[in-house]
Amino acid sequence: MKSVCRFLLGCGALLLGLTVCAGQTFAKEKYIVASDCTWPPMEFLNDQKQVQGYSTDFIRAVAEAVGIEVEVRNIAWDGIFGGVATGQYDIVASSTTITEERKKQFDFTDPYFEVHQAVIVPAGKQVSTLADLKGKKVGGQIATTGIFVMRNAKVDCELKEYDDVGLAIQDLVGGRIDAVICDDPVAMYYVNMKKDYAGKLNLSFKTEDKELYGFTIKKGREDLLKKLNEGIAKVKAAGLDKEFAKKWMGQ
């Protein structure tokens, strides 16, 4: 009787072990994605405080294409890269421009979006170059490429930095500043898609220099980098990037 019991217990343990192993084999790898959700239409929160936007759709499509799982979290910009460096997050999907300086500290995927800097002015106003902003009050989000571009252009203007580009747009509509500089998909969203500002804004000028967005990961994670690049290629081959652009920017 003891032998039979031991045999049955052994079979049960074996089946349990096989079940656990099977679960481990087929469970998707899960990665935490950090996004600073203050940059519509690329990354922002909906009315239910859920993360959405072009970058969000893109990274989720990448994950589906290569059979992994991602959890996207809203993380403030000032702590987003430190969190990746220390392993709190696996991926930054936050409209991050690929630069040589950043590549010294992090690895970047292949580009998933191309951008230019854009200048928004009130409807009826016009600028043709950055130099036209001389003597004007120009707003932009703190520590973003638009701010760097204005400083490098050495235009004699009053540059005002905001925690959120949306606050800069509010001041523009309210007449407290004369222009906002930001990435062109963000500009297109506020001009074309934001109902509150319909007919009130003009995307007047875009710089010729292009920037490329990439997903950011900690250096040395070659396997993850390979997966993400494979997914980016699949998403673009399927034309999903164009669908996302139409959905979020009205292109």
Condensed to tens digits (0 to 9), the pLDDT of residues 41-87 reads 999 999 999 999 999 999 999 999 999 999 999 999 888 999 999 99
For residues 133-163, b (16+ Cβ closer than 10 Å) or e, as one string? Answer: beebebbbbeebbbbebbeeeebebebbebe
pLDDT of 142 > 60? The answer is: yes
C-alpha torsion sign, points 206, 130, 153, 137: negative
Confidence of residue 2 (pLDDT cuts 50, 70, 90): very low
Confidence of residue 26 (pLDDT cuts 50, 70, 90): low
pLDDT, residue 7, reads 37
Question: Does residue 8 lie within any of the structural domains?
Answer: no
**Statement to judge: residues 122 and 106 lie in one domain:** no
DSSP 66-86: HT-EEEEEE--HHHHHHHHHT
Question: Does residue 164 lie within any of the structural domains?
Answer: yes
**Statement to judge: residues 193 and 127 lie in one domain:** yes
Neighbours of 242 (CB within 10 A): 11
Closest by Cα among 196, 251, 250, 248 to 41: 248
**Statement to judge: residues 134 and 202 lie in one domain:** yes
**Statement to judge: residues 154 and 187 lie in one domain:** yes
User: What is the mean pLDDT of the segment spanning 87-109?
Assistant: 95
CATH number for 240:
3.40.190.10
pTM for the full predicted model: 0.78
Question: Does residue 6 lie within any of the structural domains?
Answer: no
Closest by Cα among 226, 185, 227 to 70: 227
**Statement to judge: residues 109 and 220 lie in one domain:** yes
pLDDT, residue 18, reads 44
Considering only residues 13 and 174, tell me which one the structure prediction assigns the higher pLDDT.
174
For 18, the enclosing helix (H) or strand (E) is helix 2-26
**Statement to judge: residues 105 and 229 lie in one domain:** yes
Question: Does residue 139 lie within any of the structural domains?
Answer: yes
Number of structural domains, the chain?
Answer: 2
**Statement to judge: residues 107 and 220 lie in one domain:** yes
**Statement to judge: residues 125 and 105 lie in one domain:** no
Question: Does residue 13 lie within any of the structural domains?
Answer: no
pLDDT of 241 > 60? The answer is: yes
The parent domain of residue 67 ranges over 30-114+212-249
pLDDT of 144 > 70? The answer is: yes
Work out the burial of residue 88: count CB atoms within 10 Å of its CB; fewer than 13 is exposed, 13-18 middle, 19 or more buried: middle
Confidence of residue 20 (pLDDT cuts 50, 70, 90): very low
Question: Does residue 17 lie within any of the structural domains?
Answer: no
For residues 4-28, b (16+ Cβ closer than 10 Å) or e, as one string? Answer: eeeeeeeeeeeeeeeeeeeeeeeee
204-215, pLDDT tens digit by residue? 999 999 999 999
**Statement to judge: residues 237 and 187 lie in one domain:** no
The token pair that represents 21 in the structure block: 């192993």
What gap in Å lies between CA 185 and CA 160, rounded to an integer?
Answer: 21
Question: Does residue 22 lie within any of the structural domains?
Answer: no
